[in-house]
Structures are given as structure tokens and as C-alpha cells.
Amino acid sequence: MPGTWVEPLGLLQGRAAALAVAADLALPLAGGPAAFTLVRLIGRGAPPDPVPLADVPAAWQEAVLALTRPLPPFVGLPQGRAPGRPLVMGIVNVTPDSFSDGGRHLDPQAAIAAGHAMLEAGADLLDIGGESTRPGAEPVPPEEECRRILLVVRELAKAAPVSVDTRNAATMLAALEAGAEIVNDVSALRHDPLAAAALAQADCGVVLMHMLGDDPRTMQRDIRYDDVVLEVAGFLAERVAWAEAQGIARARIAVDPGIGFGKRTPHNLALIERLPILAGLGCPILFGASRKRFIGELSGVESAEARVPGSVAAAIAAAQRGAAILRVHDVAETVQALRVLAACEAGEVSPMDVGDAEE
């Protein structure tokens, strides 16, 4: 784990953020719209308490400025529905055993219809997977994974950018050939030794996610962290550097803290609260908490399908902390929440978003 980190604190949103930046009282987080007024400097020789921006020691100033730089669109994807707001990625699980919707979209035509419905509801892109990575899930051979997803990828890629959720190099290459533009690997390219070399030759986006260990079957068995946020950030920094060394440009990489992958509820909450620290990696942040177990634990809701309000709340919290892509099951609800959030923070709304009558 790298020895030094700069953690943005004192976050501001919307008009307050813009006014504070204009008055040199805050700096934009990854180009905005959020801004930060304080930083915690973590490492040898760092002050013990949070530091106002005006008091940041010279040796740390470049690291602070790195938090402010806007990121280019991820592999050319369009910006979110509102300026500075995250993209919404709809989840299409072509599996019999995913924790929330397993079996519902196992038929390719059902999966294709679900993907189109998500796009009509406002999704910016789709994430298609043929292997469940829920805790305890058994692996799926690449041949079966491809049988499940390739028709779905091929058809939906005609309508929108498509990500393939897989750990297997053979599946990655087949999906890219079928039209996928992003590979989303929960193992951060640790599962298949052929994956990095394959992706180095491909002009695609790559999502690197943190998971405790590299096997969903065992990731929840022995969960221990000293500081989950710093350990996750350090892991992702190492994987990004490793991927670059294999020939995958940083501009093609997004990072995912892996909510629920080898974490319990307190770990997930800490990662959400301190998500802005990942802005220092210089990669877009993908965030996926949709319908996960910790939301049920916090809300007392056992059924994954009934965790929609809690999922939207987690997505909004991540959006306010710098997430660039929200991976969700419930697209319409998330898009609606983001639109209202943007209007509330701006204090205004485009006439195109206003109906003819108030109700």
C-alpha cells in the first residue's frame, strides 16, 4: 500500500461548492460539481489533524491538486444526464443464480428486452454478465459464460455502450468481438493470467475492482482490515500501476471499491463515506451497491428486490462523493433521483424538464 494519501474533507455541493471555489475557499473534486475545503494528509510526517487548503505544506500541494483535475470521458462515453453527474449503468445478469435477479434474464431474449427497457428508462450504458459473483457462487466455465451472453451483448451493443462483467480472458475477447466496449473484472485482472495481455491489445475500457482475495466463494470467510479505505485505495493504486505496466493505459481504466466483496456493513459504510480519496488515483470511480446485503441490514429489509429505496440512497451518496458511474438494477428510480438532486443543488431546472402543470 502506498505510504501517503490525501483525503478530501469538508465536501460542498451545488451552488455552495461553486461559490466557495470562486472565492478560493474550496477546490473542485475531480473537476466538480462537488468541492472540498479541507484535506487529511496521511503518511509519514503528516499533521495529525485535517488541514485547511491554505495551510497545506508545499510537499503535499501537488497531491492535493491531483484531486482537482477533471477526468476525460471514460473510453469516449457521453457525460451523465446532468452536467458533472455520474453515468447510470444498468445491470443485465444472464444467470440462474445472481443474488437479486437470478434466472429472470437467463433467456437471451428476456435479457435483451430487459436491456432495452433500462435504456428507455435512462441508462447510459449496460453491464452484461454470465457468471454470478455473489458470495459463495461457483465459477462458470468461459464456454458456458459465452453461450449465455454473446447474443445479448451483440444485440444490445447496437443500441448503447456495453460492458461485459467477466473474469475470463476468453469471454472478454469474445464479448469485445461481439461489440462490448468495456471489460468489468471483479478480480482486477488477477483471476486469469491471460487477461491483461489480451486487454493490452484491445481498445476498450477496463474496470478494476477490489475484492478480498480473488475468489467469490471465499471472500466473506475471514474479513480483516486495519483501515479498509486505505487498504482498498492502496490495492487499487497497485492494480492500476500493474495494468499500466502490462500495456493498459491509465486513460482506459476505471476503479471500483468493491462494495460487499469481502466487506461487512461497517466496511461498506466507511468506503462510501470516504469515497473521495479514490479521486487521487486519476481514474473514474465506478460504484455498485445496488440491492446488496448491507442495505438490507441497515434497513431491515430481507428481500433484495425490496431494497430499491436504500439502493438509491447509496447511489446518491456516492454521486455526491465523486462516483463517475453508478452500477444499478433500478435504472428509472436512480435516474429520477439524480435529476431531482441536480435541480435541488442548482436551484433551477431546464424548461425541458418541466411539465405543463404543477401537481
Residues known to be catalytic: 292, 327
Q: Nearest Cα to 278, choosing from 7, 3, 1, 2?
A: 7
Q: How many CB atoms lie within 10 A of CB 220?
A: 18
Tell me the C-alpha distance between 141 and 139, whole Å. Answer: 7
Q: How many CB atoms lie within 10 A of CB 15?
A: 13
Quick one: angle between helices 108-120 and 142-156, nearest 10?
40
Tell me the C-alpha distance between 249 and 262, whole Å. Answer: 28
5 SS3 class: strand
Amino acid at 281: L
1 and 234 Cβ atoms separated by less than 8 Å: yes
